[in-house]
Chain A
Amino acid sequence: TSTANAATPKAGGTLYFLEHTPRLDHYDPSRIYTGRDLAFMNSFHTRTLVAYNPVPGEKGTTLVPDLATNTGVPSNEAKTWKFTLRPGSTFEDGKAITCEDVKYGTSRVFATDVINDGPAYLQSWLDIPKNADGTSTYTGPYKNTPAGVAAFNKAVTCKGSTITFNLNKSIADFNYLATYGVISPVQKKLDTGDKYDLNPQATGPYKIVENSATQLRLVRNTKWKKSSDPVRTPYPDEVIIQFGLDEEVIDQIMLEDTIPNAVNFGGPLPTNRDKFFKDAKFADRRMNNSDPYARYLAFNLVKMPCLEIRQAMYYARDAKALLDYAGGPDYAGSYATGVISPLLATDFEATKVVGPSDYKNTADVIDATTGFKPSGNVAKAQAYMDAAKTKCPADYKKATETGIVIDGRPSASDNDTIPINVAAYARVGIKISYNLIKSGYYPTVMDATKQSDLSTSGWGADWANASTVIPELFTTAGGFNLSQNSKDPAYKAFEDKVNLAMKTTDRKKQAALWKELDKEAMKNFWVLPTLFGKAQEIWGSAVQNVFFWVPQGNLAYGKLWINQ
């Protein structure tokens, strides 16, 4: 992690972000869920009740008050949370932000037909009765029943400038959710539902003045007052995301420093990484960090019930070739040992269930504890296959004859890995093929009937607690269980332990439980962990004060300034 020179920041100038995709997924605070977009919008545009401290290093993970004057006060065994709003903060139209605005903002996520894609914690945690199918009886502000509204008004209450959330269970880290826009002020009379996404009211120092197919342009929000915002420091006059640029073009711009005040929003192409990282010229303009994601393949247990086959696939994999292809340890990260990323707070030091005992060790030798070998432990994999042959002959036949189908999203680099995988699994007689889903990947694979035998996926914690990882991925209550593991013999015990962990308010003890659960999930081979990834950042020579914002897993965009 490098920090560019700590000279006195200067205000002014335009800060460019060069981006390949045609737009960000969402701008509506209730709908943003992607780490980078969140870091961006929260840095400039949207204020939340509490925020991560935008400073380098570990300190960045601490919560600081933002719109609220505190970081949340729990009571009633953390079933009730109170936040008091800071006076003097306004929307971009000058209207003061009230408790009612925040309450209204939280109500919106219940209108799932309009406000989608955002984190769904509020729906499951707020103390509102649920229907038989698990949906909330409250259906949001647009279209609802009096009973639903009454329930919601009981769950979220306003008293002066204090907002109270009543939860249906103890949530020790509920205040972390308050770093998300799902709990942020929205003016009822300006809410345009779906269309609010295009130009949401700013509460931070910048507001949107153009949101088109080519750019998102933010300029200073004149109604914003430094005095009311302890977190943000607006330096540039304008912030622009330039969309749809060819990735190669972006890299070339960076290499040539054509636009010194620009940041490569998506990171350099793999092909150009060496140019940036092997050349001292770019020493002040590059960064290579672990990213907050754990990557894995989720076994669909409904179609892959045989543990031995799953194990064989794990050991037969040529992880080394894949890591090398992805850029080696320098650029691509390390062999994943579970689904909890090492970037998560220190109490989640990586578990040693599968993979190398030390995830930083990339030597191609058999790991004594786990039997993992980066280039594949073919002997061990073969042994599992042999076992499978007698134990679950039907699955064995499928693996060796029909072939195992893996869901994936088409991408230039993933395409290349297909032959690598085909060759690796062939070593133990496993046939694989790919089902590449272009659009609507998750809606497709989340549907157990449409999901193939394995699905490529990745997950990062929503905040620095594995409570946003293990239950999400491995329980039926979680929102992202691609493993379909409820029929697995080990599931019941696992779920009980998860519930126990959720109730544990002591962070240390809770963390220990999560680690054990991570281990268990790995032992059951519900997923096949692949990488703890890395990400590279590149920026122009005029961009100053660049540092990695650990909890967001991205740069602290709000702290950048332009050296003119």
Chain B
Amino acid sequence: MKNLLEIKDLKVTFPTDDGFVQAVDGVSISVAPGETVAIVGESGSGKTVTSLSVIGLHNRKVTQITGSILVKDKDESLDIVSAPLDKIRSYRGRVVSMIFQDPMSSLHPYYKIGSQLAEAYLVHHPGKKEEANKKALEMLSLVGIPEPQVRAKEYPHQFSGGMRQRVMIAMALMNDPAVLIADEPTTALDVTVQAQILQLLKDLQKNLNMGILLITHDLGVVAQVADRVHVMYAGRIVEQGNVDDIFYSPHAPYTLGLLKSVPRIGSRGSERLKAIPGQPPSLINLPIGCAFAPRCEYISLADENSCENLRPQLLGNSDSHKSRCHVPEEKRDKLFTAEIKGART
């Protein structure tokens, strides 16, 4: 296996009072060493559910998960979906690490930073207390926290938001993981701080040759750091490809809509934004056909009624660039590329 992480046909369903929530529906993603793979999509599109699946954090008793999530650890690889919990635990934090969106609440308020870091090491290296402490200080300075010895003895609430996210990153890196999952790592931060953190992630990746699965809804962030991108809509991947493919020749109408609707610095301010009409669907009440169909302006280009009645497949002429749409790809390619160019000027 050349990839560090391979998600295949992942489906996650939550039974709720109102019915089954199909939060993730047939998602396949892979991450190779040194690569940054991004998942973008609107709120509720299933990004977090996907990422939590990767470290097996869903409650297995109530959540229905199918498909496979292969994680590579040196020579062996483990399927998180079916592996026993103990085994998964030995992978968490060591092979796959995760940092979360909200650095304010993701650190335990009652423990000192240093001990929280050391604990992450100790889980996988039982008994090696001294090493753990040393590693903790090392990691703190690596993520750019000044005076690590002093700061390690402080509590999370004594840290600012950006600092905390650095601590979270340090904690995730305590065991030199192969894959880092970053679920909206900068959403809660200010732009200037966001820039610091993104830079940090980039530098670390270069040094450690990690695979990063970056989850975000901010297209700007994606453009800045991702190598490959998966666009999610209503639990499904609607388009995947290299950053340039996605940003300069999007094939899915949703991706196009998204790109057109963001205001950009430098674009003419007086013009109206091209909003996508309507609302994202409820996951319990998905249309039978294409989930985006109710908001799509290109339905007329597809075969009659296919958008409403048939669910499109994730297809593409090239292996690296695929999308879900009933409109023939040739038609879309030119049309969408032109539109995106128009919007950019």
Q: Do chains A and B touch in the complex (CB under 8 A)?
A: no
